[in-house]
Amino acid sequence: MFGKPKLKPLTPDQVPAALKIIAAHDEDDAAWAKETYSDGLFGQYGFVHKGTLGGVTGFKWDGDIAWISWTYLHPQARGQGMGEEMLGQLLKIMRKEGVRKAFVSTSDYAEPGEEPLYAKAIRLYEQAGFQLEVTHPNYYDLGESELIFGMQLKPKKGSAIGQSIVEDGAPVPELTEVFSIDETENCYAIEWTDSE
């Protein structure tokens, strides 16, 4: 049984345990996480209880937005509300660091007749206030879409978008769709809408 999580920066010596936690859920995610962790651990967090890493989460900066990265719990820490607690702490850290908007990317992958693999994670994000903003069909594989959820953490004030300045209270462009451009390889376009 794990105690209440208290996030601390992930250290290099914790990476093998972090990868093991991720692999317990999905081997492909663990391989991808290994690559991203090798780029550095800034913005990556975990919590330890009685010497055991109980969960990992984190974010990667992209200007004043950030993408939530590998968020997984040790198998023995699941089902105790720790994912919600861990995500809440991470969002607090992100707000403190000045992140304006958080995004998280996941998948709708499901084995025939089973609940989607990331259904619990999606419910967790939605309960925290994230909203589905983009569905990118067949992104990971035929029949497996990428789902991008977003959450406004701070209002955008006087920010430059292209050549214009968004005034306080003015509509802010919000990403609505990413799609591949016909007859191209690895070329994508985006659509957006103005939101309050």
pLDDT for res 196: 55
pLDDT band at 72; cut points 50, 70, 90: very high
- Summary mean pLDDT of the chain: 85
- Measured in degrees and rounded to the nearest 5, phi and psi for residue 6 equal -130, 105
- Say what the pLDDT of residue 175 is: 67
Q: Return the SS3 of 86.
A: helix
Better pLDDT: 77 or 182: 77
**Predicted model pTM:** 0.75
Residue 55 has pLDDT above 90, yes or no: yes
Task: Describe the chain by its helix, strand, coil percentages, rounded to 5.
Answer: 30, 40, 35
What's the whole-number mean pLDDT along residues 58-64? 90
Structure-model confidence comparison of residues 77 and 106, the more confident one: 106
Segment 145-154, tens digit of pLDDT: 999 999 999 8
Please report, as a single letter, which amino acid is at residue 65: I
Q: What is the mean pLDDT of residues 59-83?
A: 90
Residue carrying structure tokens 């200007």: 63
Name beta bridge partners: 190. 178
Contacts 24+ apart (CB under 8 A), 113-118: 117/26
